[in-house]
Structure formats: structure tokens, C-alpha cells
Chain A
Amino acid sequence: MLAIDARDVAKTFRAGWIGRRETVALDGVSLGVERGAIFGLLGPNGAGKTTLLSIFATLLLPDRGRITVLGLDVVKDATEVRRRLNMASGNASFLWNLRPPEILSFYGRLYGVSGRALRRRVDELLTVCELDPHRRVPYNELSTGLKQRLALAKSLLNDPELLFLDEPTLGLDPDVSTRLRRYVASLRRERGMTIVLTTHYMREAEELCDEIAFIKAGRIFARGSAGDLKRAIQLGDVIALRLDPPDVRLDDAPGVLRAVAANGWIEYTVDAAEKRVPELLQRLHADGVVVRGIEVREPDLEDVFVEMAR
């Protein structure tokens, strides 16, 4: 069962009443997200990630394409869709002189929660998101991390089936990000929430997402698990060697794609480490070269990102 089923979504922004400027933000995106999955959207700045999330969340109307969210049409059944999803973004902003409980109560009421149920819900979310000590602080005096957590708390008010997170850990310190990621993972585990997130942090995508779509210039460029993407891009593995004597070179060995020397180490990029490591060692052994150090690295998603964004 798909939580999101989008076919051929396109969106062009048109600015200016006279002398129109056009920006193609999405150019025929098709995407399916399984229920209960954590799905990551990756891509360079201006790729169209936020635009795509906004269309799924009914904040923006697509120019073309058919989009079903939780089995409902996002354009025709927008109100019903809104009841069942929510969204938090890393650069969210709320009324400057209201306090966290007031902000949460306001949005809670918009979802029809009132009275004691509302108070209970707000208290619970303030506790879960560790905002309890800051109950009386006006919004514009909260730190970035607290603002972000408040945005997350707001997005959980209606206990959504589908949650969109637009760069949820933007500007957070590593410790807070880690805890937030853990919490997001627990949302899926404990409540079966479907989560779609955008991020620029590869660690985040690798750690959290079952599936990743790489989007560039308004098109889906590649999709799959983090492992799939790495394989697809054929970046190769890296074998770093420190040899004695240090000037021995193996550039002509089979499977070697590149060789770079730095700080006494030579890094060989090979097609598949598990096959090439024994071959290289054998050859070095035969030549009587001493291996002082060896390191084998798989490329991480960061390398994939840099490669794809090119």
C-alpha cells in the first residue's frame, strides 16, 4: 500500500505581473512511498525538494500530474488530506511573542482538538520534545534548537499518518541532531508513521531512510537504498597502502581506476575491494615489498552526493 503515489508531477513558478520570469522547479517527477517507510529526498540547493514536499502537503498546487496521498487526491480531497498529515521544516517560524504552549494550543485547535484533550496533548508534546523548562519563554527568545523542536511538536499535534520533515536538523548541534533522529526513527517504529524527509546530511539519510531519491533540477535522478545508490554510481572502493619502500606503484594492476599519493600513503580506487585486495597483496608479497599499513574504505553517501550533484 502506498502512502504517496505521484505521477509525472510538474511545477513552474512564474514571477512578476509584467516581464514574467519562469523557474522550472519540478519537471515530471514520479514517486511512490510505501506506508510505514522513512523516505529521504536528497539533492543540491534549488533541486525542488521543498517544492515537492509542499505539493504533497497541499500547500502548493501542481501544474500537472496526479498525486494520491493516503489514498486521496491531493487537489480534490485537500481538506481530508490535511487532517491526516503534517509538516515541520527546519526554518519554521511562529508568532514571535507567543509561548510554546500557546503556539501548540493554537495549532491544536485548528485540528479540532479542544479542552482537556488539547491540554493533555500539548503537555505531552512539550515533555516529549523537551520543551517543558521553556514554557514561559516567548518564541523569539528561543534558541534555534528549541524552535526546531517546537516545530516538530507542532507537526505531531494531529498524530499524523504521514509526516513531512523539511531539513529537520538544519542548524542543530550534533548531539541534538542525533536525539532528534532517534526520535524520528521511534515515531515510525512505535506509531507506524510514514515519514518523508529532505536533508543535506548524508549521515542522516543513511542512518534513517529505507529509501532515498536523489533529485536534481526538478527530476528524480536515482532512487533506492543508500547501498543501491552507491552501487549505481560506481564510485569504486578505496584501498590505501603505506609501503616500504614507499615509491612502489601498482597503477597498472588489474581493476585499478585511479591512484593518488598523499602523506606517504597511496590511495588506489578499485572496482571492487574484496576481489582486488588479495590480488594486490599477493603481488606486493611476490615483489618483496613490505606493507606498513592498509586501509579499505567504501565510498559514503557524501561521495555519491557530490558525484551526482555534478
Chain B
Amino acid sequence: MIGSRAEKCWRAEGLLRAEATAVWAFAVRNLQMATRNVFLLFELLFWPVVGVSTIGLMTRFLALSTEDAAFVLIGQMAFSIVSTCQLDVAYSVIYDIWSKSMKHQFLAPIGIRHLTIGSWTVGILRGTLVFLLTGGLAAWAFRINVFDPGLGPVVTLLAGCFLTAWIVGVCVCALIMLFGGRAETAAWAPINLVLALSGIYYPVSVLPSAAAHVARAIPLTYFLDTYRSNFGFPSAYPHAALTGFALSAGYVMLSHWALLAAVGRARRTGLLLKMSE
């Protein structure tokens, strides 16, 4: 009896370790690729800094109030964080497209959760760096302290950004597994458009009504809304953060399922093999 319980424990531990190991594999790979390539470092620094600088200078030119400037800058920062983090998630299949090595990882006994979560952890790391960097820049260059609301709201905003990035990244992966490498460039467009609708530079209320409906379906909208409420913009939604998390949970499941289905289809059509030669 005790023996069997110990064995169960041991097996559960082994299983857990195998899970963690497979996730870790993708995290290490993304980190290695990121540190090996100077252009990736460039990508990490360049676009967020350029983005925040131009937006910051624009707010100065338009002589916006500190609150209004903070509103726009927060949107810009969130966009940079999501872009950076989702890129890491998407890399988990893009690297294999580029190197034509796709079949090897799907030959191994892994699930797609390992692939997405592993690369997502590196995305979180890089996204956090982007947040600190751009936030620091905003404080130093434009005297706008986006960290002002304190740890709780900051963590909520970051969590929202990272969840959105996971969803976007996994959708990109799914599109690539569905259409092959040629979808790679097209995959970014519709998703970034959807993101732009989440009210990055303006409140959702100024959108035309059709677009506003779309915005209401995007989790990031709610996370931006609740964070900005700390800067004197009354929240447009009751329980904004909660709604954001609930929506994210739904999309996380949907996108996971989409990628699962896309990989299954690639196994059926032979695309998986075509992406490896």
C-alpha cells in the first residue's frame, strides 16, 4: 500500500520533471538564439525605444497634459511589450521554418504546450526588460512616471500584455502550421491590426461603433483601461481587469486548440514533412 503510494509519488514527480524539462528545452533554445544574434538584441532595444521616443516627442509638440501624455505612452509601451513577447512565442516554430528542422521536434514525445510555454517564458523575460527600459526612458526624457500606480496595477498590466502576447503568438504559430512558411509575413498583419484596435493611442470610445465592438472583444483593451484609470481616466468597464483575465482565458484555450488542430492537419497533409526539407 505504502509502496504503491510511494511509487505513484515517484511517477508523478518523474512526469512533472519531464514536463518541466521539455518546457525548459524551448526556453533555453530561444535564449541561445537571442543571445547568439546581435540583430535580435537590436530588435529588443531599437523599436521600443524609437516608439516611445517618437510618441513622447509628439505629446510634447501637441502640448498634452501629463495625464494625456501618460495615456498615450502607456499604450505605446503595452504595444512594444506585446510585440516583443509574441515574437518569442512565434519563434518556437519560425526558427524551425527557417532552418527546415520542423519534423524533429514533432517526432519527440512533446505536446505543443511545451513549445509555446517554453518560448513564452523567454518572451516574458524580454517583455519585462522592454517595460523597464521604455518606462525608464519615459520617466527620464518626458518626466512621466508610468510606474506610479505601484506594484499591483503594474503586475496586472504586464500579465495582461503577456497573456495577449501568448494568444497572438500562438495564433501566428497556428497560421504558419496551416499555410507553411509563406504565411510567415502575412501572419503578423491581421493580428497586429486587431491589437491596434485595443485603444493604444486613444480611448475605445472614439472608435467607430463596429471597431469598438471588436475592441471590446480584445483582452488588452480592459488591461489598458484599468491601468489608465490610475492616471485620471475613469474606467469605461466595471471589473475591467477581471473581464480581461476571463477573456484571455477563453482566447488562450481557443488559440491552443487552433494550434493543436493546425499541427494535426500538418501531419495529415504532409506539410510537416515539407517544412523539413
Contact = CB atoms under 8 A, between A and B. Distances in A.
A54 interface: yes
Interface stretch (A104-112, A129-137, A220-228): A104-112
A79 interface: yes
B109 A60 contact: no
Given A93-B99, A95-B33, A107 B104 contact: yes
B100 interface: yes
Contact of B272 (A60, A91, A93, A154): A60
Contacts of A111: 108-109
Contacts of A110: 22, 25, 105, 108-110, 114
Interface string A28-62: 00000000000000000000001100100111110
Contacts of A92: 101, 104
Contacts of B9: none
B269 A93 contact: no
B210 to A, nearest CB: 29
B107 A86 contact: yes
A93 B268 contact: no
A212 interface: no
Contacts of B267: 58-61
Interface string B17-28: 110011011001
A116 interface: no
A86 B98 CA distance: 22
A2 interface: no
A97 B270 contact: no
A96 B101 CA distance: 10
Contacts of A57: 107
Interface string A62-106: 000000000000000001101100110001111111100010011
A13 B270 contact: yes
Interface string A105-127: 11101111110000000000000
Chain B, interface size: which category?
Answer: 35 or more
B189 to A, nearest CB: 19
Contacts of A95: 29, 33, 95-96, 99, 101
A289 B62 CA distance: 112
Interface in A197-215: none
B216 interface: no
B45 to A, nearest CB: 20
Contacts of A80: 109
Contacts of B29: 95, 98, 102, 106
B182 to A, nearest CB: 13
Contact of B21 (A54, A60, A114): A114
Nearest to A109: B25
B277 A114 contact: no
A179 interface: no
A97 B100 CA distance: 13
B22 A97 contact: no
Nearest to B267: A61
A64 to B, nearest CB: 13
Interface in B225-273: 267-270, 272-273
A82 B109 contact: yes
A118 to B, nearest CB: 8
Contacts of B109: 79-80, 82-83, 110-112
A275 interface: no
Interface residues of A, number: 36
Given A54-B273, A91-B277, A97 B33 contact: yes
Interface in B10-55: 17-18, 21-22, 24-25, 28-29, 32-33, 36-37
A118 B22 CA distance: 12
Contacts of B33: 95, 97-98
A111 B22 CA distance: 7
A111 B21 CA distance: 8
Contacts of B95: 95
A95 B29 CA distance: 9
Contacts of A83: 109
Contact of B24 (A93, A94, A96, A109): A109
Contacts of B272: 59-60
B145 interface: no
Contacts of B66: none
Contacts of A59: 103, 106-107, 267, 272-273
Contacts of B106: 59
Given A82-B107, A95-B33, A112 B269 contact: no
Contacts of A58: 107, 267
Contacts of A61: 267-268
A14 interface: yes
Interface of B: 17-18, 21-22, 24-25, 28-29, 32-33, 36-37, 95-96, 98-101, 103-111, 114, 267-270, 272-273, 276-277
Interface of A: 13-14, 50-51, 54, 57-61, 79-80, 82-83, 86-87, 91-98, 102, 105-107, 109-114, 139, 154
21 contacts: A58-B107, A59-B273, A61-B267, A86-B107, A92-B104, A93-B101, A93-B276, A94-B101, A95-B96, A95-B101, A98-B33, A105-B25, A106-B29, A107-B104, A109-B21, A109-B25, A109-B28, A110-B110, A112-B17, A114-B17, A154-B104
Given A14-B269, A58-B267, A59-B272, 4 more contacts: A13-B270, A60-B267, A95-B96, A114-B21
